[in-house]
């Protein structure tokens, strides 16, 4: 690990000033950043510790019925907050399916949004990676890439975004609150992460010195609470990132779908909102046939980026299964294995 300066500001304004310096990086729990620093994948010259900034650790219900979550709220605390879990059960399920209990107790909301890809070539400082070293090339293109992107990828980068938390949040139109040298601004989470294009090193729309201070969910997001699920397929049920995941949230009245929110994880460099599939479901009955049609529409633009054509069919099946589970209704209690396809009390296996 390279030498670096360590700064602990007392206010958001001080943090932004320190974070605006060249080579600076914000430090929260460090569950992703410190690993990358130890391996040499990231080499910031200054760490700005934001863990003790006042006011960033609150979960607040807003006057309009929405909810605001401070960037320093811990993942475990958010998932177990009764009001939050009741209003946004698919988000709580996604949180509890991620990492391990120890990491969830440390990891933060803001850090989760900012975590880097788990592409092995990005983590390996000896490998060519345009995301880590612009212009170096992409060893993943001709390497081990069976778990890489099938949507939105480019010749410059085929990595995927690893977050579970962000997938249902994108579907629910979450908004990121940001403070920076030019003041505060709000960015829709759907627009926060960037597709690689020719500049994969620019992972988000954050500008120099900008700091995530909170995440906000609009009041209408709570309207999907009775039919909301998150489903995650992984190589092992505990402590593994998604090969493919799906968030499905429905508003059903009189046996007809009035509104739908869908998003996929593990398929692109950002959580992938499936708006065309959502539109197909409006006015349809919640049936296997309508869900299969929606799943096909969600993957229309998918293309293999290497040895990963299987992920396209897999994503369709996972999304269809998530829709079937959502149509059955949100469980009264969190499943014993949140988001797992092997959680047999969900009935998912019967729809394979």
Q: What are 251-267's pLDDT values in tens digits? A: 999 999 999 999 999 99
Res 148 pLDDT > 80: yes
Which residues, listed in sequence order, are joined to residue 193 by a DSSP beta bridge? 204
Which structure tokens are listed for 209? 């010195």
Q: Say which DSSP state 131 is in.
A: T
Q: Does the residue 169 lie in any domain?
A: no
Is the pLDDT reported for residue 346 higher than 80? no
Res 351: pLDDT: 36
Q: Please tell me the predicted confidence (pLDDT) of residue 345.
A: 55
Nearest CA to 185 among 218, 207, 163?
207
Cα distances (angstroms) measured from residue 150 to each of 86, 159, 216, 299: 33, 9, 29, 9
What's the domain count of the chain? 1
**pLDDT-derived band at 349, boundaries 50, 70, 90:** very low
Can you tell me the mean pLDDT for 66-86? 98
Average the pLDDT over 336-346 and give the result. Answer: 80
Residue 236 pLDDT level (bands cut at 50, 70, 90): confident
* pLDDT score for 342: 83
Question: What's the token pair of residue 95?
Answer: 């949180």
Residues ≥6 apart with Cβ < 8 Å to 287: none
Mean pLDDT score, 65-91: 98
Structural domain includes residue 287: yes
Q: Is residue 293 part of a domain?
A: yes
Q: Does the pLDDT of residue 77 top 90, yes or no? A: yes
Helices (H) and strands (E) in the chain, counts: 13, 12
pLDDT at residue 2 is higher than 90 = no
Residue 12 lies in a domain: no
Per DSSP, what are the bridge partners of residue 257? 252
pLDDT digits (tens, 9 = 90+) for 172-199: 999 999 999 999 999 999 999 999 999 9
How remote is the C-alpha of 333 from its chain's centroid?
A: 23
What are the pLDDT digits (tens) for 99-140?
A: 999 999 999 999 999 999 999 999 999 999 999 999 999 999
Percent of the chain with pLDDT over 70: 97
**pLDDT surpasses 80 at 25:** yes
pLDDT at position 238 is: 78
- pLDDT of 237 reads 81
In a domain, 304, yes or no: yes
Q: What is the pLDDT of residue 347?
A: 47
Q: Do 131 and 200 touch, CB atoms closer than 8 A?
A: yes
- Where does the pLDDT of residue 295 fall: very low under 50, low under 70, confident under 90, or very high at 90 and above? very high
Q: Is residue 260 part of a domain?
A: yes
Split at pLDDT 50, 70, 90, the class of 82 is: very high
pLDDT at 42 over 70: yes
Q: What's the predicted TM-score (pTM) here?
A: 0.96
> How far apart are the C-alpha atoms of 217 and 176, rounded to whole Å?
9
Question: Could you report the per-residue pLDDT of 4-20, keeping only the tens digit for each?
Answer: 999 999 999 999 999 99
Domain with 330 in it: 222-351
Residue matched to tokens 């962000």: 166
CA distances (Å), 326 to each of 131, 137, 151, 257, in order? 36, 41, 24, 11
| Mean pLDDT, the chain, whole residue set | 96
**Which segments within the chain are labelled E, that is strand?**
5-7, 24-27, 46-49, 59-61, 67-70, 175-180, 183-188, 211-217, 228-234, 242-253, 256-265, 272-273
What's the rounded Cα separation, in Å, for the pair 108 and 56? 10
User: Phi/psi of residue 73, each to 5°?
Assistant: -65, 135
The answer to whether position 163 is within a domain reads: no
The per-residue pLDDT for 350 is 38
Instruction: Report the CATH number at residue 341.
Output: 3.30.390.50
Give the pair of three-digit tokens for residue 130: 């345009």
The answer to whether 165 and 112 are in contact (CB under 8 A) is: yes
Question: What's the confidence (pLDDT) of residue 344?
Answer: 59
In contact, 152 and 272? CB cutoff 8 Å = yes
341 within some domain:
yes
């Amino acid at each position: 690990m390279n030498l670096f300066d360590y700064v602990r500001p007392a206010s958001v304004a001080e943090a932004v000033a320190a974070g605006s310096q060249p080579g600076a990086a914000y430090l929260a729990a460090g569950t992703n950043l410190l690993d990358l620093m130890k391996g040499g994948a990231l080499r910031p010259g200054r760490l700005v510790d934001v863990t003790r900034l006042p006011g960033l650790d609150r979960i607040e219900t807003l006057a309009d019925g929405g909810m605001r979550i401070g960037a320093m709220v811990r993942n475990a605390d958010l998932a177990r907050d009764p009001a939050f879990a009741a209003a946004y059960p698919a988000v709580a399920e996604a949180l509890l399916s991620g990492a391990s209990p120890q990491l969830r107790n440390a990891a933060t909301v803001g850090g989760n949004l900012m975590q880097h890809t788990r592409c092995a070539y990005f983590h390996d400082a000896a490998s060519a990676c345009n995301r880590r070293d612009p212009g170096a090339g992409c060893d993943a293109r001709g390497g081990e890439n069976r778990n890489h992107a099938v949507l939105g990828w480019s010749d410059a980068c085929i990595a995927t975004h690893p977050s579970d938390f962000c997938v249902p949040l994108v579907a629910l139109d979450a908004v990121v609150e940001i403070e920076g040298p030019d003041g505060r601004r709000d960015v829709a989470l759907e627009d926060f992460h960037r597709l690689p294009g020719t500049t994969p090193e620019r992972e988000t729309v954050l500008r120099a010195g900008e700091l995530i201070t909170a995440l906000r969910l609009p009041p209408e997001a709570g309207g999907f609470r009775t039919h909301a699920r998150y489903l995650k397929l992984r190589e092992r049920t505990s402590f593994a990132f998604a090969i493919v995941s799906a968030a499905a949230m429905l508003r059903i009245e009189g046996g007809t779908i009035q509104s739908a929110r869908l998003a996929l994880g593990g398929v692109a460099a950002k959580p992938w909102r499936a708006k065309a599939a959502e539109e197909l479901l409006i006015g349809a009955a919640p049936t296997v046939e309508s869900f299969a049609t929606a799943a096909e529409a969600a993957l229309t633009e998918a293309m293999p980026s290497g040895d990963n054509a299987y992920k396209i069919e897999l994503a369709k099946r996972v999304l269809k299964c998530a829709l079937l589970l959502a149509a059955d209704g949100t469980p009264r209690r969190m499943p014993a294995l949140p988001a797992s396809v092997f959680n047999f009390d969900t009935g998912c296996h019967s729809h394979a």
